[in-house]
């Protein structure tokens, strides 16, 4: 990486004006993210990856700090005490092994509750369940994120699922057209959209209407949790459903709206979370009746 004169280079490659404008937009709009989270976001959008597919996050972190030194960006304050170079792994323990079949209705297992993943044991459990039982596996999410564990109380207390909400897709034609966004409104309001990027009901849990019940609980709880974590109150939820695997019935039952099909290229119309090999169905859920009006405002 080198920065000489007025030219910008990242890992020996020139940074175009379009790329720099996107970097600046990420830094200005993704409020609440740490410097490393911003670096991962930039790498994800610009596809700055190693041959093995891993993000060049450390190099990008240093690149952003050099831009700040030159007065081209203003990054958030450094966060002390963050561990560097921590390897993300998926544990394999008895907690993630298949459990006895749980059948019935929501009434049979009620109450159903969601809890934000906060402690290290909860993080490891969430990572194991998603890593072992979700078809997309575990991956450090794009930008901001909140994770939940789903529990039932009967016939005994048990974890039955997991959820993740994260930063929205940067551009997604069905969503952007439905909202009616121009570029100024998109830049201003994008971070008020939050994506449901993982949703898992464990395979041995076959409780009727549980998935739609969980989605409804999450829609009621997420706005305040996200506001407390990132100082931004979301007003629209989005998700992508692989129609070759799922019908989206749980989202429909929870009153989400199906908008259409993506091009299959994902974030920045290139990829989404490194799994956009095929088109996905786009679903959204307005968190209040004024959501569209607020998202269009400049």
At residue 251, φ and ψ (nearest 5 deg) are: -70, -40
Low-confidence ranges of the chain (pLDDT < 50): 1-5, 81-87, 266-276
CATH number of 99-296: 3.40.630.30
Helix (H, G, I), strand (E, B) or coil at 87: coil
- Which secondary-structure segment (H or E) carries 29? helix 17-29
pTM score, two decimals? 0.75
CB 288 within 8 A of CB 237: no
What distance in Å separates the CA atoms of residue 294 and residue 288, rounded to the nearest whole number? Answer: 10
What distance in Å separates the CA atoms of residue 41 and residue 106, rounded to the nearest whole number? Answer: 38
Give the start-to-end residue ranges of the domains of the chain. Answer: 3-69, 99-296
Closest residue by Cα to residue 130 from 83, 86, 85, 95: 95
User: Would you state the structure tokens that stand for residue 107, as one six-digit string?
Assistant: 């009434």
Closest residue by Cα to residue 261 from 248, 273, 274: 248
């Amino acid at each position: 990486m080198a920065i000489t004169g007025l030219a910008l280079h990242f890992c020996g490659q020139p940074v175009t004006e379009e790329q720099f404008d996107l970097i600046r937009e990420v830094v200005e709009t993704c409020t609440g993210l740490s410097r490393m989270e911003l670096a991962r976001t930039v790498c994800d959008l610009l596809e700055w990856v190693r041959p093995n597919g891993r993000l060049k996050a450390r190099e990008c972190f240093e690149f952003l700090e050099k831009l700040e030194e030159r007065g081209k960006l203003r990054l958030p304050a450094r966060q002390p005490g963050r561990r560097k170079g921590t390897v993300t792994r998926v544990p394999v323990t008895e907690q993630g092994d298949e459990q006895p079949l749980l059948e019935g209705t929501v009434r049979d297992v009620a109450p159903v509750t969601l809890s934000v993943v906060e402690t290290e044991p909860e993080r490891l459990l969430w990572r194991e369940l998603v890593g072992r039982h979700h078809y997309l596996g575990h991956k450090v999410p794009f930008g901001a994120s909140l994770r939940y564990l789903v529990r039932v109380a009967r016939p005994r207390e048990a974890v039955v699922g997991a959820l993740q909400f994260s930063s929205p897709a940067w551009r997604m034609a069905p969503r952007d057209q439905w909202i009616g966004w121009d570029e100024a409104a998109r830049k201003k309001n994008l971070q008020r959209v939050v994506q449901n990027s993982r949703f898992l009901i464990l395979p041995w849990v076959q409780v009727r209407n549980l998935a739609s019940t969980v989605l409804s609980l999450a829609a009621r709880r997420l706005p305040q949790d996200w506001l407390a974590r990132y100082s931004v109150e979301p007003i629209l939820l989005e998700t992508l459903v692989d129609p070759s695997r799922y019908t989206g019935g749980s989202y429909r039952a929870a009153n989400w709206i199906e908008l259409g099909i993506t091009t299959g290229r994902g974030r920045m119309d290139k990829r989404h979370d490194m799994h956009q090999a095929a088109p996905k169905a786009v679903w959204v859920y307005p968190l209040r009746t004024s959501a569209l009006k607020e998202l269009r405002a400049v």
